[in-house]
Amino acid sequence: MKTIRVRITAEELEAKRISEILERAFEDDGNPVTIYEATPDGRLWAAEILLFDMEPEEAAATVRDRVGADAFAAPLEAEELPDINWVEKSLEGLKPVKAGRFVVHGSHDRDKVPGGAIGIEIEAALAFGTGHHGTTAGCLEEIDRLLSMRAYDSILDLGTGTGVLAIAAALQSRQLVLATDIDPVATKTALENARLNGAGHLVRGFTANGIEDRRFRLFGPFDLVIANILARPLMKMAKSIGERMTPTATLVLSGLRVEDGPRILFAYGCQGFILDRRGEKDGWLTLTLVRGRKQA
């Protein structure tokens, strides 16, 4: 599968604005967007997005079409990247991440998990969610906090990615957790990671588009749902998620920019949820909502 990098270079404020436009324009597709200093003096910055399975000219046209003229006073270039596992490459220099009592690490850092911590080993794979992103770390901290306070009867990790959140919930609660994703590669990866971490007997999973698949009935209704996705799909699924949850339930939502908070709270407020806790990491938001009761 071809990987095309589309890069837009501009001064810092403009590049950051373009990066935010790219994230909004491609949030439903999940294409990775990055921003970094492009010159040693910090005068120019680059906003980049990776597109897959297309030619460079097509990728450039796709970006221009999605974003429109608003962002393109700045020069744009597109190039095909070498056939490298970019996820694996990006993880090579990453250090273990501590979030609550969890430590997410690669196999080369097994010896760096301190006593008393819950280690979760995640290697590079064709799915995202390693603990290094603010949304994943925020969810891990909430899982630790919530499961330290009480037990839940039925737990769902919706949009599981690498499965790190499902594994965390399973290892801490020692009970069954359902992990689902729209991407079959992610579902397979999550289940393999669960086995690697000694939670294979506790994590069940299947591939499903959204939460309306009838197989959810075999595991629900859920009294704890963790959904680290993106704002737009979370908005669209508010009613369906609410219908799959118990009258007294807890919902952890992430994959959200800080500015997404009000519209997410409104959408889930219509399903009877109220805000219990709000966390922010690196400009990303994690919201804990409750229905039918107030958390401690």
| 136 known ligand binder | yes
Peptide bond preceding 40: is omega within 30 degrees of 0, i.e. cis?
A: no
| 116 known ligand binder | no
The CA–CA distances, whole Å, from 195 to 115, 156, 243 equal: 22, 18, 30
| 228 known ligand binder | yes
Rounded Cα distance between 61 and 207, Å, is 31
Contact predicate 157/164, CB 8 Å: no
Rounded Cα distance between 260 and 267, Å, is 11
Rounded Cα distance between 236 and 210, Å, is 9
| 181 known ligand binder | yes
Q: Within the chain, what is the greatest distance between any pair of CA atoms?
A: 57
Contact predicate 295/224, CB 8 Å: no
Positions at the binding site for S-adenosyl-L-methionine: 136, 159, 181, 228
Mark the binding-site residues, compressed into ranges: 136, 159, 181, 228
